[in-house]
Chain A
Amino acid sequence: MYEKHMLLKEDIQSVVVDGVGTGFTVRLKIPYYRGVCLSLVEDLQVKFNGRVFPKEQLTFTVSGGTFTFAEMATMTQHRWEFGEKATVFVPLAGGIPLGYHRVEVTVAIRVSYMGGARPFTVALDGVSPMGG
């Protein structure tokens, strides 16, 4: 169900500050059947037309704050709940250009009973700055 429901095209949009695009945000749901505390989000990666943005370049907004991945590694009280949209900020200068683009998001949640992180990737084509 995650392929279809964790990320929707309309949940990807440019961030504009004083008329200048500073990047874009991706609002996504967890690809796992339960919510987890943020320390269990082991990895996250966004690709925009093949350009890789590793987790060190992203921020994550959920559970009442905006955090870096270095911060999240020790966060055991703040949670990303099942079905809740977290907002990932991707620093793409200028924001999303006109046209249609491919966005791929990989999330790896550390699942203790599976012995480690389980990366899950979802890819969307036809992402435009107009949304949808």
Chain B
Amino acid sequence: MGIRRSVSFYSYQQTYYTGRKDLRQLLEITSKIVGSPGVELIPEQMPVGEYPVPDDAAVDQWKGWLDEYALVPTCMDSFIDTMLYKDRYLTLKEQVGQMVRDLTLAKRLGFPVIRVLCPIRKEVVEASLDAAAKLDVKMGLEIHAPMTLRSRWTTEYMEMVRKSGSKHAGLIVDFGIFQMRPPRKALENALRAGAKPEILDRIRALQETHRPVAEMMGEIARLGGGDVERGVAASLARSIYSEPDWMRDYAESLFHCHGKFMEMDEDCRETGIDYETPFRVLKEIGYDGWVSSEYEGQRLYTGAEEPDEIEQVRRHHVMMRQLIGE
């Protein structure tokens, strides 16, 4: 089966938030305009009926839409609100309760995998393994920058998974960990705000060789840069790079991928994140799963101009088709 294309509806957040399209319309667009076979949903963002317990009619309607638009549910994004109450953290038992709540919803909506947010503790996943097995829904801890594929958090979690012998806990890779340079739009914004092009070039070159932000700040000072250039460097502070090759360590536990992207240019190329190498590695390790487009460039639009989320996702799928060889 190999690599298959999906869309995380996170990508359409502004379109939905502003009321331009509802969930059904976005499913239709995903099928007919983007041409994606897969769909990933954050039910706390675009609920099917009522979150976390939709009535049966809402679930039936959801399944009817999936049939109508020939879409496969690929992954459901879960959150656990450890700070649900102002004055204390949730106990382990309460956090597991939230995990089971989301596993149950995923089962009802047809999602085989849930995304576990990266700061969720391994103990919570461990204590949810039985529930996940009973429901046959997998939990994938998201490897999201600034976390890396070789962070202690990742290796300790995977140690727990291997010891448990469970097939229901693994990883989800967010492609933000493969960012090589600032997105084009961030650089354009900085130029408009008066940044010196040669300093932006220097920041870009330093990021391409994975140099730390502190070093960029030193260079900016040396070259006579100001707040705008420092702002560009500061925005990269959390973009800690992982080598795509490191995915090989976890080949059997990779459940899903988030194809994070910030800007697709007119030729359908991502302007800051490497896709060729990670796709090559995924093929080589025999990855048999989904990559969901996850557009996050909305935040680069600070003026009157509005992002075209649907067009961005469409271009991302043009690129993924080429990389997959469809």
| Chain A residues in the interface with B (C-beta under 8 A) | 1, 3, 5, 29, 33-37, 39-40, 42, 73-74, 76, 79, 81-83, 110-113, 116
Contact = CB atoms under 8 A, between A and B. Distances in A.
Q: Interface majority SS on B: helix, strand, loop or mixed?
A: loop
Interface stretch (B9-17, B27-35, B102-110, B188-196): B9-17
B17 A83 contact: yes
Contact of A113 (B17, B51, B119): B119
Given A39-B84, A112-B83, A113-B117, A5 B17 contact: yes
B14 A1 contact: yes
A73 B45 contact: no
B47 A40 contact: no
B301 A1 contact: yes
27 contacts: A1-B18, A1-B298, A1-B299, A3-B302, A5-B17, A5-B18, A33-B10, A34-B42, A34-B44, A34-B45, A35-B45, A35-B47, A36-B44, A42-B86, A73-B85, A73-B86, A74-B85, A81-B47, A82-B13, A83-B19, A110-B81, A110-B83, A110-B86, A112-B79, A112-B80, A112-B83, A116-B83
Q: Max chain A CB contacts within 10 Å: which of B14, B16, B46, B83?
A: B83
Contacts of A37: 81, 84
Nearest to A82: B45
A79 B13 contact: no
The 9 closest A-B pairs by CB, nearest first: A112-B83, A34-B44, A83-B17, A112-B82, A34-B45, A82-B45, A113-B119, A112-B81, A1-B14
B86 A39 contact: yes
B312 to A, nearest CB: 14
Given A82-B17, A110-B81, 17 more contacts: A1-B18, A1-B298, A5-B14, A33-B13, A34-B45, A35-B45, A35-B51, A37-B84, A39-B84, A40-B81, A82-B13, A82-B44, A82-B45, A83-B17, A83-B18, A110-B86, A113-B118
Interface in B30-77: 42, 44-47, 51
B18 A35 contact: no
Nearest to A74: B85
A36 B80 CA distance: 11
B84 A82 contact: no
B167 to A, nearest CB: 26
B83 A82 contact: no
B86 A35 contact: no
A29 B45 CA distance: 12
Contact of B17 (A29, A39, A110, A111): A29
A67 B172 CA distance: 39
Given A73-B86, A79-B51, A82-B45, A34 B17 contact: no
Contact of B84 (A5, A29, A76, A81): A76
A3 B301 CA distance: 11
Given A35-B44, A35-B45, A1 B84 contact: no
A59 B79 CA distance: 27
Contacts of B19: 83
B58 to A, nearest CB: 14
A43 to B, nearest CB: 10
A82 B86 contact: no
A110 to B, nearest CB: 5
Interface in B98-141: 117-119
B84 A40 contact: yes
A83 to B, nearest CB: 4
Nearest to A79: B51
Nearest to A85: B19
Q: Max chain B CB contacts within 10 Å: which of A1, A35, A76, A110?
A: A1
